[in-house]
Every structure is written in C-alpha cells, then in structure tokens.
Amino acid sequence: MLDFQSILNTISKVAKEQSDKGSVANYIPELSNIDPNKFGIALLDKNGSLYQAGDSNESFSVQSITKVLLLSMVFSMIGDDLWNRVGVEPSGDPFNHLSLLEMENGIPRNPLINAGAIVVSDILISKLENPKLEFLEYVQRITGDKSIDYDLKVATSEKKTGFRNYAAAYLIKSFGNLQNQVEDVLDFYFLSCSLRMSCEQLVKVFYIFMNRGNCLNNNNYLALSQVKRINAIMLTCGFYDEAGEFAFEVGLPGKSGVGGGIVALLPNKFCVATWSPGLNEKGNSKLGMLALEQLTTETGLSIF
C-alpha cells in the first residue's frame, strides 16, 4: 500500500530545496509579481482521500488549465459536433502556431492550444445565455466548491497585452471559424483563464476525469467515452511542445498553465496537482514537472 502522504512530503521538501526554480511568466504583467518560492502539491485518490503538502491551499491563476474545463463543458453540450470546429492532433511545432492555422484553414489543431480554446469559447458564447456566469457555475458544480472565482485583475491585464491571442482569433475569424465578435470571444476567454484555484481545489475539479465522469458528489456530468477522450487529448496535447516529454517522463494525462499549476491523473486511481510559479523554457512549471516525475517514479504508477 502506497503511503501518498509521505511521498508528497518528500516531494515538497525536495522541491523547496531546489535552487533553480525556473522563471515566473512575465507576459501577463499581473502574474509576474508572484513569489517564486511557492510550492504546493495535492493528491486525491479515487476513494476521496486527500493528501497535501506545501502551499497546497493557496490559490493561483490556473490559466491554461481552464482549457480542459472549457472543453469538458462544451463537449458535454454538443458532443462530437465539436470536432467540426477543432482537431485532436498534437500541434507539435514550437514555431509557427499561426502558420499552422493558416495551412489548416482556421481549424485549430486541438482544444488545448490557445487557438482551439478560443474556438471552444466561441461555441460556448453562442450556446449560453450568460457564458461568464454559467461557466463559473459549471466549475463550481463539478468541484462542489462555490468559493471558486475569476480574478478580474488578471483577466484585464491579459486583455491589454494578449496581442497574439487577438491575432489568432482574427485569423480564425478570417477563415469563418469564429461566429462571434473577436472582442466578445476574447473577453470571455481571458476571464475563464483567470480562474483562481488551489492545488486542493484543482484535484477536486479534475476528479471527474479520473473517476469516469462522476464528480466527488457522485453526480455524473460527463459520459465515460467523453472522459476517455478528454484524457487522451490531455496526454497528447496537454503540455504545449512538451507533451511528448511529459508522456515520456511522467506518463499521465494532464494539463499545465503559465500560472505554474499542473494537474494530472491516473484513471480510476488518483488525481494530483502541483503549483510552483517558475516555468521552464517550454512554459511548464519547472518544479511541477520534476515533482510529477518523482511521483510516478516512486509509486511506479503510470498509464504505461
């Protein structure tokens, strides 16, 4: 029997001792003020037992992790029609993100890159009456935690500086794959990325993907086949240009965000979240990557 608490304690201790913690993202000005020494980790097993270490209760900006939740909401609403608007292949290429969009006629590679999440946002805006409120309630509902909220300052900060996202959105629109105004889509998209959660909250929200579509409160919000597919997309596309590396080193479906969070899961076993604001050169949390490698090495658990 694995002693998760002891493993998390060790991982947290090792992480806090690392001298090279990566670099805090500075392209969203509001994110650049965070203390780079923070490190938290939380693990929730299938039975609902929760293990934590370090700054696991401190909330941070989940950023791109929200893309999995946007995907989950839209997939549960429109099903496989989604795949007419966005693909399921890894983007692979560290360069040329806009060029790939150009060559592929405005169909983003997958829903976990910015362009794909922008298309998902566009669909949600078209389908929901009050998208900002309804998406927040969806996240609160599957987590069972009404205290989760947006961070307007971060959303505003990104809106003022996210020129590349504007470029992607306008390019998609030029191909007819965006139905709403770019301003409206990005307004919702930036807000959704500004969600603040702690590691503890993150493992609770991702419990649904680990537990075959059933939340902690036992409600079923997602079909099993949809859960499997979301997990497959996380594995192949969840870590920017480092998706292969993460599958190779860690071997779990997961998603990272430039706020320094990473969440990953072993289907039917556990989900785990880490937070450390310093990023590696590919934009993933440096200590978070190391922590998850250590976790799967020490436990011998991975999907492979």
Tell me which residues touch a second copy (CB under 8 A): 87-93, 95-103, 109-110, 163-164, 166-171, 173-174, 182, 224-225, 227-229, 231-233, 235-237, 241-245, 247-248, 251, 253, 267, 297, 300, 302-304
Residue 196 C-beta: closest distance to a second copy, Å:
26
Q: Which of 56, 59, 62, 67 is catalytic?
A: 67
Q: Which is nearer to a second copy, 34 or 301 (CB)?
A: 301
In whole angstroms, what is the distance from residue 45 CA to residue 268 CA?
A: 8
Q: Are strands 196-197 and 254-256 parallel, antiparallel or unpaired?
A: unpaired
Residue 59 C-beta: closest distance to a second copy, Å:
29
Active site residue 150: no
Q: Find, among 126, 131, 104, 128, the residue nearest to 116 by Cα.
A: 104
Q: Which of 250, 258, 263, 272 is catalytic?
A: 258
Residue 144 to residues 41, 131, 136, 150, 165, Cα–Cα distance (Å):
20, 19, 12, 16, 31
Q: Which is nearer to a second copy, 80 or 134 (CB)?
A: 80
Q: Which of 38, 189, 203, 250 is catalytic?
A: 189
Compute the chain's Rg from CA coordinates. 18
DSSP readout, 48-115?
A: --EEEEESTT--EE-GGGHHHHHHHHHHHHHGGGGGGTS--S----SS-HHHHHHHTTT--S-TTSHH
Q: Which of 138, 203, 240, 255 is catalytic?
A: 240
Beta bridge pairs of residue 94: none
Active site residue 51: no
Residue 220 C-beta: closest distance to a second copy, Å:
16
Active site residue 86: no
Active site residue 67: yes
Active site residue 250: no
Task: Catalogue the active-site residues.
Answer: 64, 67, 189, 240, 258
